[in-house]
Amino acid sequence: MKKRKIKVPVKPAASAAAVVLILFISFNLLATAARNSRLFIVRDVIVRQDIASGEKIDLSFLAGRNIMDINLQEQERNITKLYPGYNQIKLVRIFPDRLFAYFIKRKPVAAVKLNRYFCVDENAVLFDMPAAGSAASIELPVIYGLQGKIPAPQPGRKYNVRELLLAVNLTKVVKNNRQLRGLKIIRIDVTNPANASLSVSLPAMAQAKVPAGMEIKVGQDYLADKMNILASLLIQGRSDWDNIKYIDLRFKEPVIKFKDKAKK
C-alpha cells in the first residue's frame, strides 16, 4: 500500500505570517507616531472628590506628558502618598488629552491620641485630622493608650498594632449593635487590652449634660456578646443611667458600680 504524501499549504501559511508581521509593524509605527504627536499631550486633569472635604488637590504635574506614557498604577501609588486621607485614588485616560482622577475619602471611626491627634479608619490606617478640626469638633471617640505602641506615626500607613485593632473593632461592634444606637463613645482606653474600657454617653445623660459619662470595662474578648449584655443591662436600668459609675463586663457575671454608695 502506497503512503500518501501530505502537502503542507506553504503559501497560505506564509501569507498569514506576512499579514501578522505587517500588522505588528503598523501598530508599532502608529504607537510611535502617537507618542510623538502633540495630540496626545495631557492638557487637563479633572479631579472628582468630596467637595465638603475642603482640600485642594493639585495634579498639575501630570499635565504636559504624553497620555500613553503615563503609568496609571504607579501614579496612583504616588498620589496616595501625597494625599493619605483618601483610601481610593483612580486615574482614567480620556483620549486624546485628558485624565480623570477619582478620589474617595477615608471615613474616620475614631481619633487617636499620639504625639498629636490622628484619625483612623476601619482598616486601622492613620491619616491627618481635617483642617482646623479636632476630635471634639467632628464628634469622634478618642483612643488612648497607644503613645508607646506607635512612636513615629505616618499618615496613610496601616498599623497592625493589637491595641489599635482592638479599639477599632470596639467601634465597629458598638455601631453594629442595633440596641446601642443611642450610645455615643466618648473615649476608648486600650493601655492594657485585658482591661480595655469605653467611656460612653447615653441620650438621657447627654440631656442632663453629664460630663464624665459612664465607664464600660470590656477587656478584649467576646466583644459582640458583651455588647449584647450591655444593651440588656442598659434597658433594664434605664432609670439609673445617671447614677451608674461603671459597668464591668470582663467576668462571667457583669458588675454594676453605682455612684451613690447607698445603691448597690
Predicted local distance difference test score (pLDDT) of residue 123: 95
User: Does residue 18 have a pLDDT over 70?
Assistant: no
What would you measure as the largest C-alpha separation in the chain, in angstroms? 116
How far apart are alpha carbons 93 and 68 in whole angstroms?
9
pLDDT-derived band at 32 (thresholds 50, 70, 90) equals low
User: Does residue 114 have a pLDDT over 80?
Assistant: yes
- In the block, cell 458583651 appears at 226
Predicted local distance difference test score (pLDDT) of residue 261: 58
240 in Cβ contact with 223 (< 8 Å): no
DSSP 209: T
User: Does residue 124 have a pLDDT over 70?
Assistant: yes
- Give the predicted TM-score (pTM) of the model: 0.79
**Is the dihedral angle over the CA atoms 220, 222, 224, 229 positive or is it negative?**
negative
113 in Cβ contact with 143 (< 8 Å): yes
Predicted local distance difference test score (pLDDT) of residue 12: 65
pLDDT-derived band at 38 (thresholds 50, 70, 90) equals confident
For residue 79, count other CB atoms closer than 10 A to its CB: 19
Cell of 144: 488612648
Secondary structure of residue 232 in the 3-state scheme? helix
Measuring CA to CA, which residue among 154, 143, 155 is closest to residue 193?
Answer: 143
84 in Cβ contact with 128 (< 8 Å): yes
Q: Which domains does the chain have, with CATH numbers?
A: 38-105 (3.10.20.310), 110-258 (3.40.50.11690)
How far apart are alpha carbons 188 and 215 in whole angstroms?
10
Give residue-wise pLDDT tens across range 197-252: 999 988 755 554 555 579 999 999 999 999 999 999 988 887 777 788 899 999 99
Give residue-wise pLDDT tens across range 39-95: 899 999 999 987 666 678 999 999 999 999 999 999 999 999 999 999 899 999 999
User: Does residue 13 have a pLDDT over 70?
Assistant: no
- In the block, cell 496609571 appears at 72
List helix spans (H) across 37-117.
Answer: 72-82
Give residue-wise pLDDT tens across range 125-145: 999 988 665 555 568 999 999
Measuring CA to CA, which residue among 184, 141, 165 is closest to residue 223?
Answer: 165
User: Does residue 25 have a pLDDT over 90?
Assistant: no
Mean pLDDT estimate for the chain: 85
Least confident of 20-24, 38-42, 94-98: 20-24
Could you give the C-alpha distances from 251 to 30, 60, 98, 134, 194, in angstroms and in order?
73, 58, 61, 35, 11
